[in-house]
């Protein structure tokens, strides 16, 4: 694993630990936050594999878990749209 991937994994892990302190595992928002972070990490990797530079996305940890989940889901959607656009361009 290269340095960028290791750094990204460390950031995702540290963010998930910080989020866990604010939202209990039984809370529905905890699952939404965890799922969105995993999807973002996957999409980031797919975009990087296609040669697209992806900037690191941070969510303010002082925001409520519901707001964090919404922001992460919006970022996930934007990354998905970017990846779909690239895939469409490559298919043509």
Closest residue by Cα to residue 43 from 1, 6, 7, 87? 87
Domain range enclosing 52: 3-91
pTM exceeds 0.85 for this model: no
Query: Tens of pLDDT along 17-66?
Result: 555 555 555 567 788 898 999 999 999 999 999 888 888 888 888 888 88
What pLDDT is attached to residue 16? 60
The model's confidence at residue 87, banded by pLDDT at 50, 70 and 90, is: confident
Q: List CB contacts of 28: < 8 A, sequence separation 6 or more.
A: none
State how many domains the chain has.
Answer: 1
């Amino acid at each position: 694993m290269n340095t960028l991937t290791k750094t990204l994994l460390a950031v995702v892990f540290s963010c998930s630990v910080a989020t866990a302190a604010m939202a209990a595992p039984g809370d529905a928002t905890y699952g939404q936050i965890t799922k969105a972070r995993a999807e973002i990490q996957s999409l980031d990797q797919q975009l990087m594999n296609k040669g697209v530079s992806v900037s690191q996305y941070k969510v303010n940890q002082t925001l409520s878990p519901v707001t964090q989940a919404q922001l992460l889901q919006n970022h996930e959607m934007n990354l998905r749209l970017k990846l779909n656009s690239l895939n469409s361009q490559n298919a043509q």
